[in-house]
């Protein structure tokens, strides 16, 4: 303890020369030497003119909001409390190529993960951060991931020169300063160092070719430079998520890329589901279904508490995709986005102080300001391609508590009991819209580990490219992929009550016309069916890939939920088992794991092979490649 005190005094004494008395007092109230060490090293590296330490007081929060506008990082809009931020042409999504793990010599990660030698990477990113804050203010922010004073709690500190980033964090994460002041001097925490780098007159990062987002999992530090897009700069979003996955691996719990929602059932019942979907695949829109409650839209921590799976949201806000949000399909969210709740818009079109985005179900202006500067209809990029009025990955940042349907258990220190887990991606050819796994192992492997999707605008690079995205966590994994599968399998095996695992696919297309077989609103019916299945209120049909709904039950649900007549021919098309497409899917999944994941557990190949055998057996039995659902038997008749 004496050594800790001496360390604290040493770091603080060095920091005292660099902070004014007020900010020094705020920092010195924290008695964790490694906090002072991290702040001091960040100051020495980035060389800011000033340092602002936020203690989460209303005055400090208001100061950050004000500075975001005064510096021009955000601009006020016509509706009170609404602002807009632009990221620039080359900074419009999570950048896979620029994001790498720093791997020390002798350690190994899966080939599927982007990585660089730790010594080389540290030297590179620190050279880019050197003097990057000269003439600016370094903001020191403290956050709490997960509910406060909870088994789920993880502390974090970020040093950044972006007022926009600091502002965003107040909407997205629970305040952590007080928790830091009460923490033991040996407390562990995550660290983020971020700088926008050189900025132009529009306050946009200039050196996009030198964008780097490096994760040092050895020390629990994230370095981000020459970027402002929140997915790359707000360190406690997906970046710290990578470190939380590693922590969960060591401690025997799960950190997952999952939404959490409460689904209402008969007689006032509420059932909690967690759901993993890659970006732009329906995760937030599922969590925001009208009449249900949202507890989280992005990152879930799941723990075994008394042999029951309980989940909590790592965050308390949403950094969501705007495209397609409209008053008809998303009434609660649309209401928040058009009323005076606090909202940060990014990369939208602005005309006369009003934000516009793609798919908002109204006529968009013919000109205005967007991420390229002044925009007019017909404007093209450097390749002669038309520039849309707003970016497809335009975003909004809000507090969850601004939503009328925010679940009251959001800050429950024990989280909520999970009864169901959902995996869903963009699969235009194979999987049916909704199905239930045969058991925990089948669900984890055939719906989770085998999750296949098509790349979208939320990631820089080509769109519509099919890829395996294991449990929708592949971009963020910081442990061997095979180990993550084992962790999931073992987690469920230790539970007395296992959540039921479901697979959903909102993007199945007609094999002849290529048209989608469902409307976006149909997902509400699939969710309601899952709620009934959890409580054994309806039976199901057994197919080679899982248990699917009966037409009679869906017919009732479509009428109850959407006031829509559900036709038998639509049901038949949607739930026909496409044997060849499913066999091809198995081949792709097996190839991925055999070539790129050398530590894949044998259970994965066994489960995939069992699914292959069931599909081949069904094809031989019915003498057809496309097998309508009525050919399969109801589960009760098989018992």
Burial state string for 189-218 with b = 16 or more CB within 10 A and e = fewer than 16: bbbbbbbbbebeeebbbebbebbbbbbbbe
574 token code pair? 């949607």
Question: Which residues does 18 contact at the CB level (< 8 Å), separation at least 6?
Answer: 40, 43, 51
Domain with CATH 3.40.449.10 in the chain: 2-74+93-251
- Residue reference for tokens 């994965």: 604
Compute the CA torsion angle 200, 205, 207, 210 (nearest 10 deg).
Answer: 170
226 token code pair? 């020459």
User: Residue 423: which H helix or E strand, with range?
Assistant: strand 416-424
List the catalytic residues.
Answer: 281
The predicted-structure confidence for 16-42, as pLDDT tens digits, reads as follows 989 999 999 999 999 999 999 999 999
Total residues belonging to the chain: 639
The predicted-structure confidence for 174-202, as pLDDT tens digits, reads as follows 999 999 999 999 999 999 999 999 999 99
Residue 198: phi and psi, rounded to 5, are: -65, 140
Domain with CATH 3.90.228.20 in the chain: 254-318+409-638
How far apart CA 202 and CA 370 sit, in angstroms, is 12
How far apart CA 494 and CA 603 sit, in angstroms, is 17
Average pLDDT of span 318-339: 91
- Residue reference for tokens 């192992």: 441
Which is nearest to 460 in space by CA: 62, 38, 89, 194? Answer: 89
DSSP state string for 275-288: EE--TTSSHHHHHT
User: Residue 142: which H helix or E strand, with range?
Assistant: strand 137-145
CATH 3.40.50.300 fits 2-74+93-251, yes or no: no
**Position 1 pLDDT exceeds 50:** no
How far apart CA 469 and CA 485 sit, in angstroms, is 13
**Position 330 pLDDT exceeds 70:** yes
Alpha-carbon distance values, 277 to 7, 98, 99, 262, 444 (Å): 45, 23, 21, 17, 14
Which is nearest to 83 in space by CA: 340, 323, 331? Answer: 340
The predicted-structure confidence for 425-482, as pLDDT tens digits, reads as follows 888 899 999 999 999 999 999 999 999 887 644 444 455 567 899 999 988 888 889 9
pLDDT band at 93 (very low <50, low <70, confident <90, very high): confident
How far apart CA 420 and CA 439 sit, in angstroms, is 12
Check residue 3 and give its pLDDT: 53
CATH 3.90.228.20 fits 254-318+409-638, yes or no: yes
Question: Which residues does 70 contact at the CB level (< 8 Å), separation at least 6?
Answer: none
Check residue 8 and give its pLDDT: 57
| DSSP H helical ranges for 545-632 | 551-562, 568-575, 579-596, 602-622
Burial state string for 367-403 with b = 16 or more CB within 10 A and e = fewer than 16: ebbbbeeebeeeeeeeeeeebbbbbbbbbbbbbbebb
**Position 10 pLDDT exceeds 50:** yes
Check residue 584 and give its pLDDT: 95
Check residue 455 and give its pLDDT: 62
Question: Which residues does 11 contact at the CB level (< 8 Å), separation at least 6?
Answer: 33, 36, 37, 40
**Position 100 pLDDT exceeds 60:** yes
How far apart CA 196 and CA 203 sit, in angstroms, is 9
């Amino acid at each position: 303890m004496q050594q800790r005190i001496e360390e604290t005094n040493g770091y603080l004494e060095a920091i005292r020369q660099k902070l004014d008395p007020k900010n020094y007092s705020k920092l010195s109230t924290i008695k964790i030497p490694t906090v002072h060490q991290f702040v001091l090293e960040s100051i020495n590296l980035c060389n800011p003119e000033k340092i602002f330490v936020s203690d989460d007081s209303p005055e400090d929060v208001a100061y950050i909001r004000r500075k975001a506008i005064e510096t021009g990082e955000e601009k006020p809009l016509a509706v009170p409390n609404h602002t807009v931020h632009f990221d620039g042409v080359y900074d419009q999504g999570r950048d896979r190529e620029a994001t790498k793990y720093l791997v020390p010599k002798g350690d190994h990660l899966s080939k599927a993960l982007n990585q660089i030698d730790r010594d080389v990477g540290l030297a590179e990113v620190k050279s880019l951060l050197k003097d990057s804050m000269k003439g600016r203010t370094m903001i020191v922010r403290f956050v709490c991931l997960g509910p406060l004073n909870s088994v789920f709690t993880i502390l974090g500190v970020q040093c950044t020169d972006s007022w926009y980033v600091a502002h965003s964090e107040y909407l997205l994460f629970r305040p952590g300063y007080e928790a830091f002041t009460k923490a033991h001097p040996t407390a562990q925490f995550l660290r983020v160092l971020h700088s926008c780098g050189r900025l132009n007159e529009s306050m946009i990062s200039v050196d996009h070719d030198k964008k780097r987002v490096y994760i040092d999992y050895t020390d629990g530090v994230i370095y981000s430079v020459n970027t402002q897009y929140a997915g790359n700069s707000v360190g406690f979003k997906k970046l710290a998520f990578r470190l939380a996955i590693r922590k969960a691996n060591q401690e025997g719990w799960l950190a997952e890329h999952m939404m959490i929602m409460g689904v209402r059932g008969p007689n006032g019942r509420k059932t909690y589901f967690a759901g993993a979907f890659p970006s732009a695949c329906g995760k937030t829109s599922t969590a925001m279904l009208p009449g249900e409650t949202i507890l989280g839209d992005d990152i879930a921590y799941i723990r075994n508490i008394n042999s029951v799976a309980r989940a909590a949201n790592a965050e308390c806000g949403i950094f969501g995709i705007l495209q397609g949000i409209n008053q008809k399909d998303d009434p609660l969210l649309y209401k928040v986005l058009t009323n005076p709740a606090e909202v940060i818009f990014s990369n939208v079109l602005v005309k006369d102080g009003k934000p516009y985005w793609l798919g908002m179900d109204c006529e968009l202006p013919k000109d205005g300001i967007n991420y390229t500067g002044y925009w007019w209809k017909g404007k093209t990029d450097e390749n002669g391609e038309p520039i849309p009025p707003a970016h497809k990955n335009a975003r909004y940042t809000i507090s969850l508590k601004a939503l009328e349907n925010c679940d009251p258990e959001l800050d429950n220190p024990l989280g909520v009991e999970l009864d169901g887990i959902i995996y869903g991606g963009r699969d235009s050819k194979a999987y049916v819209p909704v199905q239930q796994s045969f058991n925990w192992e089948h669900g984890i492997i055939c719906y989770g580990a085998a999750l296949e999707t098509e790349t979208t605008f939320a990631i820089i690079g080509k769109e519509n490219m099919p890829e395996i995205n294991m449990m929708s966590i592949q971009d963020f994994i910081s442990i061997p992929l095979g180990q993550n599968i084992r962790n999931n399998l073992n987690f469920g095996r230790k539970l007395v009550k296992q959540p039921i695992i479901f697979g959903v696919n909102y993007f199945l297309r007609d094999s002849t016309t290529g048209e989608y077989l469902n409307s976006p609103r149909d997902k509400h019916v699939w969710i309601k069916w899952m709620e009934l299945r959890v409580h054994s209120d309806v039976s199901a049909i057994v197919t080679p890939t899982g248990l699917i709904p009966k037409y009679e039950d869906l017919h009732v649900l479509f009428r109850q939920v959407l006031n829509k007549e559900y036709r038998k021919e639509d049901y038949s098309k949607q739930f026909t088992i496409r044997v060849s497409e499913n066999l091809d899917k198995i081949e792709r999944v097996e190839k991925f794991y055999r070539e790129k994941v050398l530590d894949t557990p044998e259970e994965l190949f066994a489960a995939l092979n069992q699914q292959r055998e069931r599909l081949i057996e069904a094809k031989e039995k019915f003498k057809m490649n496309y097998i309508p659902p009525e050919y399969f038997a109801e589960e009760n008749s098989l018992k």
